[in-house]
Amino acid sequence: MSETKNEYKLLLPLVPILAIIPYLALVQGWESIDAAIFIVAAPFVAFPTILILGQVYNKNKTWKNTWKEGGILGLGALGVSLSAAIWILFDYLNGTAHFADHSVSHWLEWISFDVLQSDYTMTETRILGMGVWIDSLTLMLMFVATFLCFLICWFAIGYMTTDPINEDSNHRFFAEFVLFSLGMFGMVLADNFLWLFVFWEIMGLCSYLLIGFYYWKDSAAKAAKKAFLTTRVGDVFLMVGLFILYDIYGSLEFSVVFDDPSTGVGGALVDSGQMFWALTMLFIGAVGKSAQFPLHVWLPDAMEGPTPVSALIHAATMVNAGLYLVARMMPFVDVHHHGIAGLEDFGIMVAYIGGITAFMAASIAFVQNDIKKVLAYSTMSQLAYIFTGLGSALYFLNTGDYHAGYFVLGASLFHLFNHAMAKGMLFMASGSVIHEVHHAHNLLSLSHGDGDHHDFDPQDMRNMGGLASKMPVTATAMMFGSMSIIGIPLIGGFWSKEGIIAETWAAYFHGESAMLVPAILILATAGMTGFYMSRMWFMTFAGKPKNEVVDYVYENTPWIKEPLLILTLITAIGGFALALYGVIDFLSNESTHLAMHGDHGVVDSIITQLEHAFLPEDSQIRMVGWVTIFLALFVGPIMAARIHGGSLKDGETATPIVGWLVNLSGKFGTQDVSSLAESDLAEALQNRLYFDDLYEGIIARTVIPFADLCAWFDRNVIDGIIKQIESNSVLGSVQIRRITTGSARDYILMATVGALSIVALLLGVSN
Amino acid sequence: MIDPSWIAGLGVILFGIGLLGAFSRSNGIIVLMCIEVMLNAANLNFVAGAAHYGDVNGWVFTAIAIAIAAAEVAIGLAIFLSLYSTQETISLDEASTLKN
């Protein structure tokens, strides 16, 4: 591909679009918060534009090569969103803008109405508006969403437009992509639950459209349906939760609800039982969206979509929505700030769901051979960590231990950030691997003259191995991403995962015996994460090539490497840097800006941070921390290396640290696990612990008979009544037809008689 | 000036003639003419009333009624033309396919 260099010229038309936000900031002197509307408006404009232009100019050369079938437009729109988001972020971080009033910028009153009460009086007008709500949670997710959407769109330009099976339909992809981004941006910025729900549903729709992008494939169509229906189960509960909230507070505006959560409409004290159900309903919605047990079944199947979509759903947007919703619930339980006491059980329930999902997903990930499926289960597992952390935060805040509560809340949200960055990169890197392996296979089958590549699965790791020297950038990126997910000390996810595990144990040590189960589960999962992530990396990049295709793999598709490099940098050093700047306090709203601890310079700050991470004062917590590090750093990866590791071949080179790691993996000897792979447990894990079969069985026994019953009722009762009316009227018409003569004169007579009768009637009435 | 009740009586007679003709004749054209007679009976009443009460509305109504009558005749004649071209008759007695 010699035109690699020239491709970036295509970005030139974007310069005026990207200049909008700097122009408003520097020349027009806008407030950053007023630009928030651009974050949503830019994709809102781009969506129909790409769709219509794509339909009109389909197959047009300029459209295809210069505009990349709309990809460049989408990138421009997301660039505007990103620049606006960064502007707002900087204004808050350097103190130009303040959280004091949560910076609600109210754009308009969307619906306003009076309420008729049971004693037939009207209450004051209630208003559902739309606006922006900004606190540290919003800022973090806004940055994650806009930044990753932008990078993934960049990646998708390279990935989708060189994919031969998407011939001329990529405008559909890019249009749906920006709509999906719009959903996430809007949801994060919304200042009331109603708009949050509207954008939440936009995401649900787009997940359906994008997972089913290859709609001609039966499996993709089914996966799309499954994702849509499963999340819909959660959404119904979410709606119920919103109804209860509205009933309690008489409003869904954050500013009204969070002002004083302990008093409802008219100053009535809020009942903790009612609140428990409201939060539980909202939580079920979050469980569906974030693919937690028991509504997790859709997520692995969602891998049927194109790889950029997997990255988008798993890192930047959809699954974070559920976490966002749960993180939003904190004011309800925070007893130090007008929260409602007596909701500890809710926090424990959240932690249990998280713990169970983390363990279950990690164990299923052990046996997956599809590179994307491993990542999918890893997403589930890591999100479950965050849920466990949020559950602990809910518990602590409700029992009054707000220091621990805020710390674990901050750690959970920091893990969300680390996970999003690492997982976004991992998916793009896996996309790069899949893409190049697929291309190599096409090349190979061309040179062999056999056009048969239907049996070959480019996503199957059993076809890979030894790619470290072929794809240096991807191998490095994936290594740092996996390290961040595993929680290798000093890298990315370590800083946040450690906090979650420690505080969940702390909840147990402080006397809540029920927290023992999630605490043990997530501790074990730390080691399991070490195993399955290392297994995936070693299977793909280390050892001997398992297929001749590997020799033909080259890393040369344009547009793919840049996002990987940027995210590798963030994953490798971003976690540590942000931890140094007190991001955990920032995210839990305890401090309003990022700053280093103390005034004693960088070195001192680093030492404090390391001390805090490795040598906490509480000896029990220190023990937990060291066990976690031992499991994640040694047990898991070494087991994986024994099974799948292997040195580089002579004469092959890889980037320094990757080469070292690959050669290291060859030194642990080998272990044959084929007997294990045939055990019942492996079989059960292969079948995803039979959850799909279970749900299918339940649906077959309940929903389908009920649907049959409804169909019978419809056919025989409703249709029966209508058919009876129809046949009766036919019979009646036949009878009436006898008296018609067909003579015009008779009709005139009848018309006259009719007119006279009407006149007579009118006269009778008026008299 | 003539008493309006006389004119009203004339209108009733004209209307009766028209109605009787419309009932009894089988020739479609004649029936159309009878309908015109009935319309004009009504117009006569309008004009008489307008003259008697000095109200311009009566004349306006008459003008509109004449215009509508013209349009109605045009449609009626068109129907009979097409009836003639398909059935070769304009006798209303023979055009009775609506009968079961």
The DSSP code sequence of A425-474 is HHHHHHHHHHHHHHHHHHHHHHHHT----SS--TTBGGG----TTT-HHH
CB distance B26–A737 less than 8 Å? no
Q: How many CB atoms lie within 10 A of CB A750?
A: 12
Q: Is some CB atom of chain B closer than 8 A to the CB atom of A738?
A: yes
Q: Is some CB atom of chain B closer than 8 A to the CB atom of A743?
A: yes
CB distance A748–B26 less than 8 Å? no
CB distance B24–A738 less than 8 Å? no
Rounded to a whole number, what is the largest CA-CA distance in chain A? Answer: 115
pLDDT given for residue B14 in this prediction: 94
CB distance A745–B19 less than 8 Å? no
Average pLDDT of span A209-224:
86
- Please state, in angstroms and as integers, the Cα–Cα distance from residue A118 to each residue in A122, A244, A639, following that order: 9, 18, 68
CB distance A745–B26 less than 8 Å? yes
What pTM was computed for the model? 0.77
Over pLDDT 70: what percentage of chain A?
89
Average pLDDT of span A194-215:
88
Q: Is some CB atom of chain A closer than 8 A to the CB atom of B26?
A: yes
Say yes or no to pLDDT of A407 above 60.
yes
- Please state, in angstroms and as integers, the Cα–Cα distance from residue B89 to each residue in B27, B29, B83, B95, following that order: 9, 11, 7, 8
B97 Cα to chain A: minimum distance (Å): 6
A727 Cα to chain B: minimum distance (Å): 19
CB-CB: which of A743, A749, A752 is closest to B93? A743
A746 Cα to chain B: minimum distance (Å): 8
Instruction: Please tell me the distance from the alpha carbon of residue B96 to that of residue B100, in angstroms, as a whole number.
Output: 9
Contacts of A738 in chain B (CB under 8 A): 100
Q: Which of A730, A739, A745, A756 should we substitute to test contact with B (largest number of B Cβ atoms within 10 Å)?
A: A745
CB distance A743–B96 less than 8 Å? yes
CB distance A745–B92 less than 8 Å? yes
Contacts 24+ apart (CB under 8 A), A12-17: A13/A72, A13/A76, A14/A72, A14/A75, A14/A76, A14/A79, A17/A76, A17/A77, A17/A79, A17/A80
Highest averaged pLDDT of the listed ranges A201-210, A551-560, A566-575: A201-210
Say yes or no to pLDDT of A121 above 80.
no
Higher-pLDDT residue of A492 and B72 is B72
CB distance A744–B95 less than 8 Å? yes
Average pLDDT of span A506-535:
85
* DSSP output for A477-508: HHHHHHHHHHT-TTSTTHHHHHHHHHHHHHHH
Nearest residue of A to residue B99 by CA position? A742
pLDDT band, very low/low/confident/very high, at A674 (cuts 50, 70, 90): low
Contacts of B95 in chain A (CB under 8 A): 744
Instruction: Please tell me the distance from the alpha carbon of residue A544 to that of residue A645, in angstroms, as a whole number.
Output: 9
CB distance A744–B99 less than 8 Å? no
pLDDT given for residue A549 in this prediction: 73
Q: Is some CB atom of chain B closer than 8 A to the CB atom of A733?
A: no
pLDDT band, very low/low/confident/very high, at A450 (cuts 50, 70, 90): low
pLDDT given for residue A537 in this prediction: 85
B49 Cα to chain A: minimum distance (Å): 20
Cross-strand pairs, A130: A108
Nearest residue of B to residue A735 by CA position? B100
Instruction: Please tell me the distance from the alpha carbon of residue A205 to that of residue A317, in angstroms, as a whole number.
Output: 13
CB distance A749–B23 less than 8 Å? yes
pLDDT tens, residue by residue, A563-583: 888 888 888 888 787 877 777
How is residue A545 annotated by DSSP? -
- Please state, in angstroms and as integers, the Cα–Cα distance from residue B81 to each residue in A685, B28, B75, following that order: 84, 10, 10
- Does residue A526 sit in helix, strand or coil? helix
Q: Are A296 and A190 in contact (CB under 8 A)?
A: no
Q: Which of A385, A313, A397 is nearest to A347 (CA)?
A: A397
B92 Cα to chain A: minimum distance (Å): 6
Q: Is some CB atom of chain A closer than 8 A to the CB atom of B42?
A: no
How is residue A492 annotated by DSSP? T
CB distance B23–A745 less than 8 Å? yes
Q: Which of A354, A546, A402 is nearest to A466 (CA)?
A: A546
Higher-pLDDT residue of A30 and A568 is A568
CB distance B98–A738 less than 8 Å? no
Average pLDDT of span A720-743:
85
Q: Which amino acid is at A141?
A: L
Least confident of A142-146, A190-194, A232-236, A694-698: A694-698
Q: Is some CB atom of chain B closer than 8 A to the CB atom of A656?
A: no
Say yes or no to pLDDT of A2 above 50.
no
Least confident of A144-158, A209-223, A737-751, B30-44: A737-751
Higher-pLDDT residue of A670 and A11 is A11
CB distance A740–B99 less than 8 Å? yes
Q: Is some CB atom of chain B closer than 8 A to the CB atom of A746?
A: no
**ipTM entry:** 0.73
Say yes or no to pLDDT of A200 above 70.
yes
What is the token pair recorded at A625?
Answer: 């921390």
What is the token pair recorded at A414?
Answer: 């920091």
Residues in chain A: 767
pLDDT band, very low/low/confident/very high, at A542 (cuts 50, 70, 90): confident
Q: Which amino acid is at A509?
A: F
Mean per-residue pLDDT of chain A? 81
CB-CB: which of B19, B23, B99 is closest to A742? B99
Instruction: Please tell me the distance from the alpha carbon of residue A274 to that of residue A279, in angstroms, as a whole number.
Output: 9
pLDDT tens, residue by residue, A256-306: 788 788 887 777 787 888 888 989 999 999 998 888 888 888 888 888 888
pLDDT band, very low/low/confident/very high, at A1 (cuts 50, 70, 90): very low
B30 Cα to chain A: minimum distance (Å): 12
CB distance B23–A748 less than 8 Å? yes
Q: Is some CB atom of chain A closer than 8 A to the CB atom of B22?
A: yes
For residue A127, give the H/E element and its range.
Answer: strand A126-132
Contacts of B22 in chain A (CB under 8 A): 745, 748
> Residues 122-181, chain A: which have Cβ within 8 Å of B?
none
Instruction: Please tell me the distance from the alpha carbon of residue B42 to that of residue B12, in angstroms, as a whole number.
Output: 9
Q: Which of A484, A470, A472, A386 is nearest to A426 (CA)?
A: A484
Contacts of B83 in chain A (CB under 8 A): none
Contacts of A752 in chain B (CB under 8 A): 19
- Please name the residues in contact with A13: beta carbons below 8 A apart, sequence gap of 6 or more: A72, A76
Peptide bond into A13 cis (omega under 30): no
Instruction: Please tell me the distance from the alpha carbon of residue A512 to that of residue A12, in angstroms, as a whole number.
Output: 59
pLDDT band, very low/low/confident/very high, at A3 (cuts 50, 70, 90): very low
What is the token pair recorded at A676?
Answer: 């294990």
pLDDT given for residue A108 in this prediction: 65
Higher-pLDDT residue of A593 and A261 is A261
Q: Is some CB atom of chain A closer than 8 A to the CB atom of B23?
A: yes
pLDDT band, very low/low/confident/very high, at A90 (cuts 50, 70, 90): confident
CB distance B19–A752 less than 8 Å? yes
Q: Is some CB atom of chain B closer than 8 A to the CB atom of A752?
A: yes
Nearest residue of B to residue A741 by CA position? B99
A730 Cα to chain B: minimum distance (Å): 14
Q: Which of A476, A484, A420, A412 is nearest to A632 (CA)?
A: A484
Over pLDDT 90: what percentage of chain A?
5
Torsion sign across C-alpha atoms A325, A327, A333, A334: negative
Q: Are B29 and B95 in contact (CB under 8 A)?
A: no
Q: Is some CB atom of chain A closer than 8 A to the CB atom of B93?
A: yes
Contacts of A740 in chain B (CB under 8 A): 98-100
Average pLDDT of span A531-540:
84
Say yes or no to pLDDT of A695 above 80.
no
pLDDT band, very low/low/confident/very high, at A748 (cuts 50, 70, 90): confident
Q: Are A179 and A202 in contact (CB under 8 A)?
A: yes
A733 Cα to chain B: minimum distance (Å): 11
Nearest residue of B to residue A737 by CA position? B100
Q: Which of A733, A734, A735, A748 should we substitute to test contact with B (largest number of B Cβ atoms within 10 Å)?
A: A748
Contacts of B93 in chain A (CB under 8 A): 743
Q: Is some CB atom of chain A closer than 8 A to the CB atom of B87?
A: no
Q: Is some CB atom of chain B closer than 8 A to the CB atom of A669?
A: no
- Please name the residues in contact with B58: beta carbons below 8 A apart, sequence gap of 6 or more: B46, B47, B48, B49, B50, B51
Q: Which amino acid is at B3?
A: D
- Does residue A212 sit in helix, strand or coil? coil
Q: Is some CB atom of chain A closer than 8 A to the CB atom of B24?
A: yes
CB-CB: which of B23, B26, B99 is closest to A741? B99
Say yes or no to pLDDT of A99 above 70.
no
pLDDT given for residue B99 in this prediction: 65
Contacts of A756 in chain B (CB under 8 A): none
